[in-house]
Amino acid sequence: MFTVGEIIIWLVLASALGFALGWLMREQRFRATSLTAKVPDAVAEPPGSDDEPTSPPQESVPAEEPALAKKAAPKKRAAPKKAPVRTAAPTIAPGAFPRSAAPLPGGEAPSPAHVIKGNVKSMIYHPPGGSSYSRTVAQIWFTGEDDAVAAGFRRSRR
């Protein structure tokens, strides 16, 4: 058994160790941030301003008379008609089985052709008109019963 004095000494040593480790971590973070590249302040003169020019100065070209400028200006053309913007048909994500499709969010069919709902866990498919078709949330969709059977699914008994 430990005495009260020994327990107090252990607590003081543990808190001192915690303080030292915390201080070391703070210093490590401080040094890491101080080593990042600092952006220099704006320079009063642009670099190379005291250099000799490398190319001769360009001579200014006199402007044409306004009457000649109007004649030389091309006539405005009618803007070409833009083609109507077509929205791309949504791409159907392939399912995990041959000739299957992944459902849209909420289990919706990816296209009107996909009418067979499939349950991946039970490997059962539900054709339209079945008693459980309306309450089944599809995990996978097929376009026909043949596709579902080929993928290893069986027809719902209901």
Instruction: Quick: pLDDT tens for 71-109.
Output: 665 666 666 666 665 555 567 777 778 888 988 888 888
Does 53 reside within a domain? no
Percentages helix, strand, coil for the chain (3-state, rounded to 5) are: 30, 10, 60
Please give the pLDDT value at position 64. 57
- Of the candidates 151, 140, 91, the one whose C-alpha atom is nearest the C-alpha of residue 116 is 140
Domains of the chain: total: 2
Has residue 86 been placed in a domain?
no
pLDDT value, residue 16? 94
Q: Is 149 inside any structural domain?
A: yes
Task: Give the whole-angstrom CA distance, residue 51 versus residue 46.
Answer: 11
Arithmetic mean of pLDDT, 9-28: 91
What DSSP character marks residue 56? P
Average pLDDT, the chain: 77
pLDDT (tens digit per residue) in 25-62: 888 887 777 665 555 555 555 555 555 555 555 665 55
Range of the domain at 114: 100-155
Task: Take residue 26 and report the two structure tokens written for it.
Answer: 């703070």
Tokens 């107090």 sit at which residue? 8
| pTM exceeds 0.85 for this model | no
Shortest CA distance to 34 belongs to which of 26, 24, 23, 22?
A: 26
